[in-house]
Structure 1
Amino acid sequence: MNRIDGGSAPVSTLSRRNLLKAGVGAIALAAASPLALLPRPARAVAPISTLTFTELPRIYDQTHHVADGYKADVVLRWGDKVTADAPAFDPAAQTADSQSKQAGYNNDHMAYFPLPMGSQNSERGILAINNEYPDFQIMFPGLITSEDDAGKAVSKDQADIGLASVGLTIVEVEKKDGAWRVVEGSPLARRITGFTEFAISGPAAGHDLMKTSEDPTGTKVIGTSTNCAGGHTPWGTVLSCEEWSVSFFGGDPAKTQTREALERIGMASEDYYGLARFYDRFNVEKEPNELNRFQWVVEVDPYDASAAPVKRTALGRFGHEGAAVALNKDGRAVVYMGDDDYFEYIYRFVSTNAFNPADRAANLKLLDEGVLSVAKLNADGTLQWMPLVQGTGPLTAENGFPDQATVLINARAAADRLGATKMDRPEDMEVSPVTGRVYAVMTKNKKRKPEQVDAANPRAANLWGQIVELIPPGSGAEADHAADNFTWSLLVLAGDTAKPEIKASFHPETTANGWFATPDNIAMDPKGRLWIATDGQNDFGIADGVFAMDVEGPGRGLSRALFACPTGAEATGPFFTPDGKTMFLSVQHPGEDSESVAKLSTTWPDFAPNGLPRPAVVAITRIDGGEIGG
């Protein structure tokens, strides 16, 4: 979002002698941030990296760029038709009704689901795409000159368009003659928006803290917002993460009886999108419980256009970004999640029941019952998962947690009580399909002071981010994702390797074009290589984009650039087809660095006269039809 080693032991426990015994060799270590990275070999007997593409040089201009031998085709843009009755896009004549039938704004996470369901078809399937937030200063020419003025300037109609522009866009796509396109008129196509009714399930459903004047049952809610990263399940659903829904609310928390809870979830008194002016439910002074019904993980069935989306409360409520699903060796579903804010936490959910490949209906309820835990990363390289279970340790009625629903609704406060490790803005997470190791992105934390650094977050005023490797007992299909204790390691410390003061750490063969900063979304390809999409490199005057690296073998930590975004944009939601020959990618908020529509930095991807920049999904393929990365 745009705001607000080869061994199994973690680096912090590995001496140089042990590394040599393991065949790893000498490593370059920053004094405050040791990493298990591979050296330049004395004699090359094999390629260092499995990634064989020619790296993209650094470039930052009005359009996108991709490495030689690749192409990036635009598949779907903001405003394109989704449903059969959608009108053609007309930026000068927008309505909430038309936007609810067209592709939403600021596409983020996405997932590809092969057709038919259960197949490995890599040339026809469904794309489920998150739409995070509106950019009113770009969407509505002449409205405002700064996005900070949006809440005061928008009309009711424009606010409604904003609500219709967020949520999810679901379309059917196919590859023909080497190019991807949307299948028009597909019965699977639909929009899920800020006006869609959602079911509430799990332990918090029906709880008093979930009840409002509009929904006295506490079991349904209108809308979703700020859907950032997410995940996908083995039973063929998408998990969409509500991240900073607080920005859709207004009112003064100090004037409510739930001030402490509202402030802990991040509520401020600003009415950022103006919704509190038009809807009482978005004003915390009038409906203090409404915000409790947001910032959850949403589950959507892309194969059934009639299925209601569900907010899964067993997964906890916080600033969700990332919901990586693994099947444990005993069949239980495990979901790894990040809370994208300063000094927030890494979470894990383990289902009570096991996945049943012969019973999809039962699988659709797996995420309603289980145990949510929060991570404590110790300096000795061990990791402890601490259950967020009412009655355990300090999570008692005396401390403000009378039941499990209250624990889940106030997951951040419960994690505070347990003493979890405060991280540098945990964002996306992914599980290696090869090793079972889990990769967690910390995008940055400018607020961390020198006295607050720790082994997992080793830099103060961290503007660059890092990637943490969580290592369960066992490996591959035998990895025990439900174990109470893991180990952990730092994969890379991001930033400009030419500036020693930053203390960045990559593989020593990483080039001046290959290092990255502010990692955000990640993906694993079928070979278990990590692909990193960045958000914030613009702050350093360089393009955000996509980088790839091996996480095993001699190329571990060697990053290479594949794709660069146009000005003002970030890369989000990379996702591979099963054959590894297509990477779908979102280009979010192009031109967001513009002062106004009158002074646009780009009108990507159309570059039409008097046109607007349009967030879009691109399909990256090799010109020769081979696997992405080589």
Structure 2
Amino acid sequence: MTGPDPTGNKAEAFEAEDDLPRNPNLTQTLGHVIAARHAQAASQPTRRGLLQGLLGVSVIQGLLGSSALAQTAAIRPAAARQPSRFAFDELPWGNDAHHHVPAGYRADILLRWGDPITAGAPDFDVTNQSAKAQLQQFGYNNDYIGFTPLNAEASRGLLCVNHEYTNEEMMFPGLGRQDRAGFSDMTRDLVEIEMAAHGGTVVEISRRRDGSGGWQVQRDSPLNRRITPLDTAMTLDGPAAGHPRLQTPEDPSGRSVIGTLNNCAGGMTPWGTWLMAEENFHGYFCSDRRDATGAPDLSDQPEARQMARYGIPGGWYAWGQYFDRFNIDKSPNEANRFGWVVEVDPRDPLSTPVKHTALGRFSHEGAETCLSAEGHLVIYMGDDARFEYLYKYVSHDTLSDPISQDPAAHRHLLQDGTLYVARFDADASLTWLPLTHGTGPLTAQNGFASQADVLIDARLAADALGATPMDRPEDAQPRGDGVAYVMLTNNSRRNADQVDAANPRAKSRFGHIIEITEQAGDHAATRGTWEILVQCGDPKIAEVGALWHPTISDSGWFAAPDNCTFDAEGRLWVATDQGGRWSKTGKSDGLYALETEGDRRGEARLFFRCPVGAELCGPCFTPGGDSLFLAVQHPGTDGTKALKGFERASTFDDPATRWPDFDPQMPPRPSVVVITKLGGGKIASSPAAATTQ
């Protein structure tokens, strides 16, 4: 990379790089579909459309003028509205060096980067790190969190945590950012530490016995383990396993691979295994060849078209300088062995994780599971990049009843099924298109010689089927009644020619959330309907085109929805990821309670605020809903040039915050936070006692 750098750290550079759309199939974007539906529906607006549904801002402004947004609240008197289902005092918005929770709650740091997770692990020494130590310590940039109970009371359980990526400028003293400097100061030792900090962690936790309701790590548990791209052996299964495109000199079988990386969101199966989604895998591969412009030269690569569609090589890390498998000049097929969903049995520390090729290869954000009406396993997955697609997997067989806790009894459900991609039509209908070899254009004549090719090149197959390019689809959370919510984080690359009077969302920097209703309430259905639940951003700024319940507060509206979850009462919670663009809202990222039902539909309330520069990930409730685990990722990094009073790039030696330790000798540390209510009880379900924090 050359030239001035507008980004302050590697995370912001990743975000900027992902702004570049790689999908050539942009003739029918979601923006066009929304515009068409707005135009169709504007002639027959309904009160629900005006207040809550897809028509929202566009129709209200078109029919009644912009002042009607404030006036719609008067359609039903405030006194007659149903009470909120969320009982807590909303936090004020802002951005500072600390985290914040509502009055009556406590937020404890459960796990921090470098914390020992095994009995024999060394204490964390940030000035004397090693890969050997990191392999026994909690990894970096915690993202997805899953919890599986170990007893009936759920007072003991296993926490399953993804570690998405590393920021070398925040991890190592005196090093600074390396991707802009050709990795000149990186060494093999540092690369191995980075690799050891990726992947995931399984750790047993238990309730404290001091009456606080808090949790603690059981370091002596034999179930604790790290899973990394440095040393964890995995197998590949499903239709693409063993295919020549997955074979390498180190693995001529095409069925064994070392590790997993860039694990963003994920999911838990009904039988208690953990699904780790591999997201931006392309960034870990490099090439030594350059064309006349200085870009990677793929002219000698037989899969140049496929590599370009996936953004390979990204060149984000120096791994390819020390490990040939991450250099496409030396091992071109290795990249085909990443971008999958990995299943891990957290109850068996000796088990071998499995990459399931039946679920397709793309930048997986999430792998949230549910069951169809007949018991088929269904998994919703987003491809987290601008103008990419929403996918769904449906197993051919059904889940046994009762459900066995033996993963081997259910593994076939992840090996044999149909992968679908979504098409959103202007009449509010949703069609799931099967990525099945021989269907429509998915034939050898079009470059898909087998089902293995369809799955390895899932993006290209979805292009060929005419799926709807979407605004960076991330988490997709299904509900038991056939409804699912899709987080669309943003799309600053939507062009002005996609805008008309009914769709003011060009260059959408704030994102939106779509509600899907599957036909007959069955998640295995191939048809359904869709509706926009909210369009994010500040509703007071007409140009933003935000769509919320009219009573939304200044603290309640948000931007860049990312991860989401349901609590024990079926209420939706949304975590945000604005990246370095939080300065456009003035708000740090956080967790919001979002109403999806009744006459408060579209109303959100701020429950947790991150420290500056952090992203909130992985919200996860215990089964009873009395504890909430949150992953605070990359604190002190994103957007620190916009932080008033700091206004510079944040580094290990000069960070914008030292959260959570606030130790002058310690940099900021990604951490898992556990929130409980003072005096006990379900989160946000009844008034909490006054806080003393």
Equivalent position to 2:112, from 54, 70, 77:
77
* 8 Å CA contact retained: 1:72, 1:621: yes
The answer (yes or no) to whether the contact 1:497–1:505 under 8 Å persists in 2 is: yes
Deviates more, 1:352-361 or 1:42-51: 42-51
Matched, 1:373 2:420: yes
The reply on whether 1:31 has 2:58 as its aligned counterpart is yes
Contact 2:504 2:543 in 1 (8 A): no
Name the structure 2 match of 1:257.
302
Report whether the alignment pairs 1:224 with 2:260.
yes
Q: Following the alignment from structure 1 to structure 2, what is the Cα–Cα distance between the partners of residues 21 and 93?
A: 60
Give the superposition deviation at 1:624. 2.7
Name the SS for the 2:143 alignment partner.
strand
In the alignment, structure 1 segments of 5+ residues that lack a partner are 5-9
Equivalent of 2:607 in 535, 551, 562 = 562
1:152 CA displacement: 3.7
Is the Cα contact below 8 Å between 2:49 and 2:56 reproduced in 1? Answer: no
Q: What is the distance in 1 between the residues matched to 2:496 and 2:423?
A: 20
String of CA shifts for 1:189-245, please: whole Å, max 9, x gaps: 100001211110111100000000000000010011100011111111111110001
**Which deviations, in whole Å up to 9, do the C-alpha atoms of 1:165-186 show, x marking residues without a partner?**
0000110111222111111211
Equivalent position amino acid for 2:461 in 1: A
3-state SS in 1 of match to 2:422:
strand
1:87-166 superposed matches below 5 A: 87-116=122-151, 119=152, 121-145=153-177, 148-149=180-181, 151-166=183-198
What residue is the counterpart of 2:315 in the other structure?
A: 271
Per the TM alignment, residue 538 of structure 1 is displaced from its structure 2 partner at its CA by 2.3
The answer as to whether partners of 1:322 and 1:428 remain within 8 angstroms in 2 is yes
Letter in structure 2 aligned against 1:85? G
- Closer/same/farther in 2, CA of residues 406 and 76 from structure 1, 3 Å limit: same
The CA deviation at 1:150 is 6.9
| Counterparts of residues 40-439 of structure 1 (less than 5 Å) | 41-42=76-77, 44-45=79-80, 47-116=82-151, 119=152, 121-145=153-177, 148-149=180-181, 151-176=183-208, 177=211, 178-194=213-229, 195-251=231-287, 252=296, 253-268=298-313, 270-356=314-400, 357-359=402-404, 360=406, 361-433=408-480, 435-439=481-485
Using structure 1 for the length normalisation, give the TM-score: 0.93
C-alpha offsets along residues 257-316 of structure 1, whole Å, 9 cap, x if unaligned? 211111111214x53210111111101111110000001011111111111111110000
CA distance 1:548–1:280, change in 2 (3 Å): same
Q: 1:489 to 1:82 in 2, by over 3 A?
A: same
- Structure 1 444/339 Cα, relative in aligned 2: closer, same or farther at 3 Å? same
**Which among 530, 549, 560 is matched to residue 518 of structure 1?**
560
CA distance in 2, matches of 1:629, 1:96: 41
Letter in 1 for 2:598: G
SS at match of 1:617: strand
Does 1:461 pair with 2:461?
Answer: no
Q: For residues 140 and 27 of structure 1, do their structure 2 counterparts lie closer, same or farther at Cα, with a shift above 3 Å needed? A: closer
- Could you tell me how far apart the structure 2 residues matched to 1:164 and 1:297 are? 19
What CA distance in whole angstroms lies between the structure 2 residues aligned with 1:588 and 1:198? 26
Counterpart amino acid of 2:628? M
Other-structure match for 1:502: 544
CA distance in 1, matches of 2:272, 2:502: 34
Q: Which residue of 2 aligns with 1:450?
A: 496
Amino acid at match of 2:393: F
**Where does residue 529 of structure 1 map in the other structure?**
571
**1:419-477 Cα shifts (integer Å, max 9, x gaps):** 100000000111124x3310000000111112346999972101000001111123xxx
2:593 maps to 1:548: yes
Paired AA for residue 220 in structure 1: S
Name the amino acid aligned to 2:77: A
Give per-residue Cα distances to partners, 1:122-167, cap 9 Å, x unaligned: 3221100000111100111101246644734311100010000000
Residues 321 and 428 in structure 1, CA contact (< 8 A), matched pair in contact too: yes
1:617 counterpart residue number: 672
The residue identity in structure 1 corresponding to 2:301 is T
CA separation of 1:418/1:228 partners in 2, compared to 1, >3 Å: closer, same or farther? same
Structure 1 counterpart of 2:429, one-letter code: T
Q: Distance in 1 between matches of 2:267 and 2:357?
A: 16
Separation in 1, partners of 2:225, 2:280: 24
CA contact (8 A) 1:423 1:457 kept: no
Identity value in percent: 46
Map of 1:7 onto structure 2? none
TM-superposition CA deviations, 1:562-594 (whole Å, max 9, x none): 011011101000011111111100000011244
**341-350 vs 447-456, greater mean Cα deviation:** 447-456
Q: Distance in 2 between matches of 1:367 and 1:26?
A: 35
In structure 2, do the counterparts of structure 1 residues 113 and 25 end up closer, same or farther at CA, with 3 Å as the change threshold? Answer: closer
Q: Provide the secondary structure at the position in 2 that maps to 1:365.
A: helix
Greater mean alpha carbon deviation, residues 406-415 or residues 11-20: 11-20
Partner of 2:516: 470
Q: Secondary structure at the match of 1:151?
A: coil
Deviation at 1:44, TM superposition (A): 2.2
CA distance in 2, matches of 1:278, 1:521: 34
d(CA) in 2 for partners of 1:150 and 1:513? 42
- Measured after TM superposition, the shift of residue 349 of structure 1 is 0.5
- Output the CA distance in 2 between the equivalents of 1:78 and 1:323: 24
CA RMSD of aligned residues (A): 2.5
* C-alpha separation in 1, matches of 2:342 and 2:238: 12
- In 2, are the aligned partners of 1:188 and 1:302 still within 8 Å (CA)? yes
CA distance in 1, matches of 2:249, 2:271: 35
CA pair 457-345 structure 1, distance change in 2 beyond 3 A: farther
Report what 1:629 is aligned to.
684
SS in structure 2 at match of 1:554: helix
Structure 1's 465 and 32: CA in aligned 2 closer, same or farther, altered over 3 A? farther
Question: Structure 1 residues 394 and 21 mapped into 2: Cα distance closer, same or farther (>3 Å)?
Answer: closer
Kindly indicate whether the alpha-carbon contact (under 8 Å) linking 1:371 and 1:389 is maintained by their aligned counterparts in 2. yes
Alignment of 1:6-21 (within 5 A): 19-20=46-47
CA contact (8 A) 2:488 2:513 kept: yes
Contact 1:49–1:554, Cα closer than 8 Å, also in 2 = no
Once the two structures are TM-superposed, the CA of residue 539 in structure 1 deviates from its matched residue by 3.7
Q: How far apart, CA to CA, are the structure 2 residues paired with 1:303 and 1:457? A: 49
Change (3 A) 1:25 1:327: closer
Task: Write the letter of the residue equivalent to 1:491.
Answer: L
**Against the structure 1 CA distance between its residues 11 and 77, is the aligned structure 2 distance closer, same or farther, given a 3 Å change threshold?**
farther
SS at match of 2:482: coil
Q: Which amino acid in 1 is paired with 2:357?
A: T
Instruction: Say if 1:86 and 1:101, in contact at 8 Å, map to a contact too.
Output: yes
Aligned length in residues: 615
* Aligned mates of 2:245, 2:178 — CA distance in 1: 36
Tell me, in whole angstroms, the C-alpha distance in 2 between the residues paired with 1:197 and 1:256: 27
